[in-house]
Structure 1
Amino acid sequence: MIEMSEQSSSRTLEVDGSAVHYHDIGSGEPLVIQQAFGPLPGTTAWLTYHRILADLAADHRCIVVDYPNFGRSSPREFHEPVHDLYVRNTLAVLDELGLDTVTMLGVSTGGTVALDMAMTAPERVGRLIVGGCSASTGGDPYLLAPAPTEVGRLFDECQSGPADRDRIARLLRGIVFDPDLIGDDLVERMYAWRLREPEHAEAWTRSTIVARSNLQALSTIKVPTLVVHGRFDRMVPLEGALMLLGYLPTADLVVLNNCGHWPPFERPSDFVAAVRAFLAA
């Protein structure tokens, strides 16, 4: 595995007057990795994926992107389908790096962004690895699960008021299957970041997420696709992965038991094994 660090791989690009933060690690075929959903601003792409990056960067150039209002990207107010904003930022990073066609990997919000990019800029996406995601901004309808789901409610609770350790802890421990994975030190870092940079949460509160269904457009995605989903995901239930299979003509599904909304964080070895088998094929 290659040597890497969060600091040495850190890069920033200005897009439409706002800073977009990303990491550039490894060499080889480009693998663009999209940030997951969680408390803002402390849910960085590095947090979600750091346990798999050394393995994947051994033979891939991993471009790991933070969204506006999250991580080290700038706070930014928006009034549109939010995943479209994230796609534009990602395309700007790819253009800056001179990358043409890439493999897109993302869980949670990152999966929705990857799907959105494959529909809006299909010439830039060669393969897809997604999971824990809906196809649509605003979510897809479920047959069995309630909406909003548990983690969605916890996020709204966390976001709707001032910074609160207990609310941040409840949200983080709702995201994962095993709450012991979320230590008090991580909660404290998230809490301190929220206090230090309130502009991210404030910009999010002023913004409008315009809902848009992408379900029918999924059939236009013809590239090889792997869906990796946690069995106990309390943000996007497993039926969401089955829904994707019904619309994506080339998708296969891997379900990880005893796993929630962040598979690369919770079961990194098994996530990497599924990804590597897909990439090798």
Structure 2
Amino acid sequence: MTAAAEARPTSSSGPPIPEHVSIWGELADVDHELRHVTVEVGGVGGVRTRVLRAGSGPDLVLLHGTGGHLEAYARDVATLARHFRVTAYDMVGHGWSDLPDVPYTVDVLSDHLVGLLDALDIERAHLSGESLGGWVAAWTAAHHPERVERLVLNTPGNIANKLEVMARLRASTTTAVEDPSDENVRRRVTWLFHDTTQVTDELVDLRRSVYSRPGFRAAIANTLVLQDPVTRARFSWDPSWVGRITAPTLLVWTDHDPTGGLDEAELLRGWLGDVDLHVITGAGHWPQWEKPGEFVDVHRRFLGAAPFRAGEHA
């Protein structure tokens, strides 16, 4: 349960108050800052970047997935902020950050991350990335090891580069952006979940707002270059670069991830060497939303706030 949920009193009459009332209600009782910072990215220039920060302690940076935005972590920031200085942000070409007309390949997204660390005066940080965010976090750990303390790869997505997964993600995302109707965007968001009752109107409408931004059709085309097999081949998960990661690493998987099963987790585990694997049951591609208590507890333990035993549940 999140800090905001714990802080809400129960109703003495009428139906019980839901644990999750709204995205920003999760932060109602937590001091936080939402602002834009300019991040210098090589070959791109200054990128106006939306950033949410809360808490104090060791730095923990959270990275969302393809077509996403920092609200993907709305259910986790308040509780994580008890132990860490949490930074969640919209990657370049995503959310309400700038949409420069360049392909958002993994190296560009990684350069944006490193530039953000510089802009925020963060020398080293724990990184936790979901889906595309996990890919970017891993690439950064391999190519900028001096900036990464510990690494959490959360359902990092299609490690085996399956063509059908790429095609499905490309088609559903393109449809939702070209026609951001409730039906199309809800279908795209629902794909992320195992428990589809957690897909709220608020979350769908927020994503519709992002997809309706001027210039977002070009931006999503620049994002989806990573679902093209030829472009993807330059950055595909591969032991040649994955094996360069030296940061202690935790893999967070689920039993209903639509992008890849535990066989892919074991594949990645073999490339990384001695790493921890934690499987969250009853969740899909967004365990940080479906199982926030367990998700936060696993981070707290692995990142040093408490002893961690691989496979232990909250």
TM range (shorter): 0.7 to 0.9
Of residues 274, 280, 285, the one that matches 1:256 is 280
Aligned residue number for residue 91 of structure 1: 114
- Alignment match, 1:200: 216
Q: Provide the residue aligned with 2:206 in structure 1.
A: 189
User: Equivalences for 1:108-187 in 2 at 5 Å?
Assistant: 108-134=131-157, 140-141=160-161, 146-148=164-166, 150-159=168-177, 161-187=178-204
Encode CA deviations 1:235-267: one digit per residue, 9 max, x unaligned: 343332222111111311111111011111110
Checking the alignment, whether the CA contact within 8 Å between 1:9 and 1:25 is kept in structure 2 is: no
Partners of 2:83 and 2:300 within 8 A in 1: no
Contiguous gaps of at least 5 residues in structure 2: 4-26, 308-314
Higher relative contact order (CA 8 A, sep 6+): 1
Find 1:9's aligned residue among 22, 34, 45: 34
Spell out, residue by residue over 1:204-228, the C-alpha distance to the aligned partner (whole angstroms, 9 max, x if none).
Answer: 3267443223412211212211111
TM-score where L is the length of structure 2: 0.77
CA distance in 2, matches of 1:87, 1:14: 12
The unaligned stretches of length 5 or more in structure 1 are none
The letter for the 2-side match of 1:169 is R
Q: Could you tell me the percent identity over the aligned residues?
A: 25
The one-letter code of the counterpart of 1:157 is: T
2: distance between equivalents of 1:206 and 1:271? 30
Task: For residue 200 of structure 1, report the CA deviation from its aligned partner.
Answer: 2.0
Q: What is the identity, as a one-letter code, of the residue corresponding to 1:189?
A: L
Instruction: Spell out, residue by residue over 1:174-216, the C-alpha distance to the aligned partner (whole angstroms, 9 max, x if none).
Output: 1111111112333233224433x13122233267443223412
1:63–1:206 distance in 2 versus 1, CA, 3 Å: closer
Structure 2 Cα separation of the partners of residues 206 and 51 of structure 1: 29
Tell whether the 8 Å contact from 2:38 to 2:46 is kept in structure 1 after alignment. no
1:69 aligns with 2:93: yes
In the aligned structure 2, how far is the partner of 1:77 from the partner of 1:140? Answer: 29
Contact 1:232 1:238 in 2 (8 A): no
TM-score (norm 1): 0.86
Question: Secondary structure of 2:215's partner?
Answer: helix
Q: Secondary structure at the match of 2:129?
A: strand
Q: How far apart, in 2, do the equivalents of 1:186 and 1:223 lie?
A: 33
Distance 2:180 2:110 in 1: 29
Aligned-residue RMSD, C-alpha: 2.4
Give the paired residue count. Answer: 267
Partner Cα separation in structure 2 for residue 128 and residue 54 of structure 1: 20
- Displacement of 1:232: 0.6
